[in-house]
């Protein structure tokens, strides 16, 4: 009996030893895989963002090659009867100034993306013309006061006037769903062809605006400002709301969200600039002369934050600065709001 117990005990011991050996073998086999995973994670953490070789000059976003096509600057109607507009979602930069009375008008710059159609297109104003000229753009508009049209014909800025192509169905068309003067649209993809036929140079080298690296976007600091409202006049209000899911600012005109008429796609902005400057009414209609050269105070909205800045003209373009140094923009689309010094930033802009 004792011999049998001894044999059983020895057999059990051998089984336990064998099992333990298999467990150690499995652990030894798993260890290299765990080490490989840890090493891979360390490599990934050490990887740094590499700036792209080519970028678009007005957005700072990656391009697959260098583009030397000329910027197109379109005078876009912002009357309540002209909203929602077509093509603003594709603009690299939009400038918003008061036109006459309490109505603002927009200058939309296109370079990285040329949409099929933009509008409604409206008549020219001097400070929009100067802004287009300062960007080296072809200015696209529909009509102008006689004294402005004379200067445009004399070569003030390279331009395409919808009054000469009205409803030609190639460069301009009239929309059936709106009535004049809110029904003129430019078929922007054809603008370069028309310009070439008119011996207008459609190529130009561009100096890029000052953009930060994408790796620096997360480092943006400033006072929290996820909702911002700008009062151009008592009944003309623009507001912005930072949307984390869009990683940018949604825009609203008089409480109505800015979207594309055809696609319902929202306008989403990476940079919102607010500049104050002198405005002067020059006639009984309420037309204005606006100073876009002398500099002044402003705000910059980025990533749900707000910064106090000053604006200056660098290479004739209004840019944000702090202590005389240019402030870097987030790569993407930018909206520039230019407001009167009276009442100015402190009274016209609120945020939370």
Region of 247 on the Ramachandran plot (φ > 0 left; ψ -120 to 50 alpha; else beta): left
Residue 6 scores a pLDDT above 80:
no
Residue closest to 269 by CA, chosen among 90, 104, 64, 75: 90
Q: Please state, in angstroms and rounded to a whole number, the distance separating the CA atoms of residues 340 and 47.
A: 47
Given this model, what pLDDT does residue 162 score?
98
> Over the chain, what is the mean pLDDT?
89
Fold of 214-351: YerB-like fold (3.50.90)
Least-confidence region, from 11-15, 101-105, 237-241, 324-328: 11-15
In this structure, of 109-118, 172-181, 285-294, the range with the lowest mean pLDDT score is 285-294
Q: How many CB atoms lie within 10 A of CB 34?
A: 10
d(CA 196, CA 155): 16
CA distance 108 to 22: 71
Provide φ and ψ at 325, rounded to 5°. -100, 135
Q: Which residue has better confidence, 70 or 36? A: 70
Q: What is the mean pLDDT of residues 267-275?
A: 99
Half-sphere exposure of 218 (CA within 13 A, CB side): 2
72-197 and 214-351 in the same fold? yes
Q: Residues 18-67: pLDDT tens digits?
A: 445 444 444 444 455 555 555 555 545 545 677 788 899 999 999 998 88
**Can you tell me whether residue 72 is helix, strand or coil?**
strand
Architecture in CATH of 72-197:
3-Layer(bba) Sandwich (3.50)
pLDDT band at 303 (very low <50, low <70, confident <90, very high): very high
pLDDT(301) > 80: yes
What is the chain's length?
A: 352
Residue 198 has pLDDT above 50, yes or no: yes
Residues 213-232: what's their mean pLDDT? 94
Residue 262 vs residue 9, higher pLDDT = 262
Is beta strand 172-174 parallel, antiparallel or unpaired with respect to 184-186?
Answer: antiparallel
Q: Report the pLDDT value the prediction gives residue 24, as an integer from 0 to 100.
A: 47
CA distance 188 to 114: 7
Q: Domain residues of the chain, as ranges?
A: 72-197, 214-351
pLDDT digits (tens, 9 = 90+) for 76-128: 999 999 999 999 999 999 999 999 889 999 999 999 999 999 999 999 999 99
* 216 pLDDT more than 50: yes
């Amino acid at each position: 009996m004792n011999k049998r117990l001894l044999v059983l005990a020895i057999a059990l011991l051998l089984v336990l030893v064998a099992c333990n050996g298999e467990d150690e073998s499995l652990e030894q086999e798993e260890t290299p895989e765990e080490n490989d995973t840890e090493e891979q994670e360390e490599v990934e953490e050490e990887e740094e963002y590499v700036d792209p070789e080519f970028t678009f000059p007005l957005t700072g976003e990656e391009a697959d090659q260098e583009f030397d096509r000329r910027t197109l600057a379109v005078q876009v109607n912002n009357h309540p009867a002209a909203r929602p507009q077509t093509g603003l979602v594709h603009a690299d930069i939009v400038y918003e100034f008061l036109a006459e009375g309490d109505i603002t008008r927009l200058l939309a710059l296109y370079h990285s993306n040329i949409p099929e159609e933009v509008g409604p297109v409206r008549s020219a104003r001097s400070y929009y013309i100067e802004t287009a000229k300062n960007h080296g753009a072809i200015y696209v508009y529909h009509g102008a006061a006689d004294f402005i049209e004379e200067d445009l014909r004399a070569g003030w800025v390279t331009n395409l006037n919808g009054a000469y192509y009205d409803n030609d169905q190639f460069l301009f068309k009239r929309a059936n769903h709106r009535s004049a003067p809110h029904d003129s649209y430019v078929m922007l993809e054809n603008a370069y062809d028309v310009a070439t036929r008119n011996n207008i140079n459609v190529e130009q080298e561009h100096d890029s605006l000052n953009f930060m690296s994408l790796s620096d976007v997360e480092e943006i600091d400033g006072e929290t400002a996820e909702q911002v409202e700008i009062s151009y006049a008592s009944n003309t209000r623009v507001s912005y709301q930072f949307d984390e899911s869009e990683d940018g600012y949604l825009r609203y005109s008089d409480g109505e969200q800015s979207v594309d008429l055809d696609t319902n796609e929202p306008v989403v902005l990476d940079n919102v600039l607010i500049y104050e400057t002198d405005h002067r009414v020059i006639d009984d209609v309420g037309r204005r002369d606006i100073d876009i050269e002398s500099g002044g105070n402003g705000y910059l909205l980025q990533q749900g934050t707000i910064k106090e800045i000053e604006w200056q003209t660098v290479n004739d373009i209004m840019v944000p600065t702090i202590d005389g140094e240019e402030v870097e923009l987030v790569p993407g689309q930018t909206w520039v709001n230019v407001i009167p010094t009276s009442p100015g930033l402190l009274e016209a802009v609120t945020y939370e």
